[in-house]
Structure 1
Amino acid sequence: MNNPHSDHIPQEAFDWYDEYAHGKMDRRTFMKKLGGLVALGYSMTVLTSALLPNYALAEQVSFNDEEIKATYQTFDSPDGHSKGQGYLVIPTGLTGKRPVVLVIHENRGLNPYIKDVARRLAKAGFIAFAPDALYPLGGYPGNDDEGRAMQRSMDKEKIQNDFVAAANYLKSHPNSNGKLGAVGFCFGGYIVNYLAAVESTLLNAGVPFYGTPASEALRKNIKAPLVIQLAELDERVNATWPDYERDLKSLGVDYQMHMYPKTNHGFHNDSTGRYDKENAELAWQRTLAFFNEKLV
């Protein structure tokens, strides 16, 4: 893991953080619970450094990397917030048509970790686009707490429509080969499932990391192949999997599910102590292999 102390932190601390990060616990309660662990001898500095993101740790590909070019691009979203914006990363020296991949952030806007994921995809030869749901409110504010509050204040249906618009924008990019993949994390995992369900022909391949499924009424539309990435200790999301799997099977959807042992929700995010390097790298290699199989 990123943080050498994270192995010694009780599992309940990770569970509390998950509740806090998803609006089921306020910050005061979260910090009070951590204070209870301090009373048992844990260091608050160790606890917060393991649980809260440090985005300086989350750069695997520099924005100055000569093999990629990153820019911000706007797109029309008439059924959403009118206009959207995202982080577009393309391989330099791009010639001909390439597969395109939408990268979808967690419930707090386009943070540095998600931008780095887009750069990783471009390094692997894909055209990647990471929209910022918070663009109508001025964009990701620079910290997760504020970003989370901003996203919670927005109309969920309009956000969903913004991501549909972003998907169509990316799919029609001049260098797109017409095949669209999507990868998302947490809320972004839900959006990948939603994009697969809202319109049968929109996605050609989807990889939701620890995301809940689209509504049951929409699932009948799913035709895109999926690779479902789940964390063994993520009880909240995993509780939704049996019903989702039943529907995918009944529809004959081409899917794989990977359950990563002893991992927490967010295990791919290398900016926190939830990061599990070995499983994150395995999940990422499976993601790239899947996109290369279905999109190239």
Structure 2
Amino acid sequence: MSTSEARWTRREVLAVAGATAAGYALAAGPAKASAIQTSSDGLVAGDVRIPVDDGYVSAYRALPEGSQRPPVVLVIHEIFGVHEYIRDVCRRLAQQGYFAIAPDLFQRQGDVSKLESVREIIDQVVNQVPDQQVLSDLDATLDWVRAQHAHPERAYSLGFCWGGRIVWLYAGHRPALTGGAAFYGRLEGEKSDLKPLYPIGLASGRLAPVVGLYGGADKGIPLESVYSMRKQLAEAGQTSEILIFPTAPHGFHADYRASYRELPAREAWRRTLEWYERFWRERPRH
């Protein structure tokens, strides 16, 4: 147990227990009482199973009741998995008319929800997940959603932290995607057999349009890296853009955590929805 964990108060310990019961990952720490809670009224929402090559992966999906050919959003979770925050994001999107689905991209490597620290999650699960497995699971999820009578062409991605990096990778893997939104996803890093590519290596290639949403006070993602990505995208003539919220820290959209910043979170969400609409309106029709 770390020093900071040892100093938790009784109230914080009880808050963590309550958060876990409500569906928040244990390692995320005490959930804020003011965390956004989106109703499922008027929605079809719940867990489903997605067929993949070696069996299935679990997913949470939400869509408007009675919707006809709704546009799709693949919601790509942070290191804490498909916990309540990600589920709520799916419901928020569904309330806007989207078929939002969040597959459990860590399922084969382990259940992160009960691990007690971020270090355990990274060492035991995140660092064991191959990028190729993730991209394949997202392909399978998109195929499954389209078979549920979702819109056959209008599909987007949305990811946070670990999932933000994947949004960029998926935009290169599937450039015909209508668009994507990457919240504070790492752009550079040490390559490995499991992670052979980082987003900055995609800047000059064929890429679905992504809006990157980054905090100027993010201590985990250097601004130099963000500026470098922005510059390379511009030089390559990409439609992708990067927005920087000067005072926002890492995790500024995570309303259940102390890192949440309401104003940049709201503005980033508005920009995300505008981005989705823009690239559907501008998409060439055949």
| Higher deviation after alignment, 105-114 or 44-53 | 44-53
Aligned to 2:72: 100
- Percent identity over the alignment? 27
| Alignment match of 2:210 (pick from 210, 226, 230) | 226
Distance (Å, rounded) in 2 between the aligned partners of 1:169 and 1:248: 32
Aligned to 1:132: 104
After superposition, give the CA deviation of every residue in 1:158-192 in whole Å (9 maximum; x if it has no partner): 23432343244335542224111111100010010
Distance (Å, rounded) in 2 between the aligned partners of 1:250 and 1:172: 38
Aligned to 2:126: 152
Structure 1 or 2: larger helix share?
Answer: 1
Distance 1:218 1:257, change over 3 A: closer
Distance (Å, rounded) in 2 between the aligned partners of 1:86 and 1:144: 23
The answer for unaligned runs of 5 or more in structure 2 is 17-27, 188-197, 282-286
Within 5 Å, give how 1:40-189 maps onto structure 2. Answer: 52-54=29-31, 57-62=34-39, 65-78=40-53, 82-95=55-68, 97-136=69-108, 139=111, 141-142=113-114, 145=117, 150-152=124-126, 154-157=128-131, 158-189=133-164
Distance (Å, rounded) in 1 between the aligned partners of 2:140 and 2:32: 28
Distance (Å, rounded) in 2 between the aligned partners of 1:282 and 1:188: 20
One-letter amino acid matched to 2:61: L
**What is the CA-CA distance between 1:118 and the residue it aligns to?**
0.4
Distance (Å, rounded) in 1 between the aligned partners of 2:81 and 2:114: 9
Say whether 1:251 aligns with 2:236: yes
The answer for unaligned runs of 5 or more in structure 1 is 1-26, 36-42
Aligned to 2:191: none
Question: Could you say which structure has the greater relative contact order, defined with CA pairs below 8 angstroms and 6 or more residues apart?
Answer: 1
One-letter amino acid matched to 1:246: K
| Alignment match of 1:209 (pick from 159, 176, 183) | 183
| Alignment match of 1:272 (pick from 254, 257, 262) | 257
Distance 1:44 1:258, change over 3 A: farther
Distance 1:29 1:103, change over 3 A: same
SS at the partner of 2:277? Answer: helix
**What is the CA-CA distance between 1:46 and the residue it aligns to?**
9.2
Report the TM-score when normalising by structure 2. Answer: 0.77
Aligned residues: 255
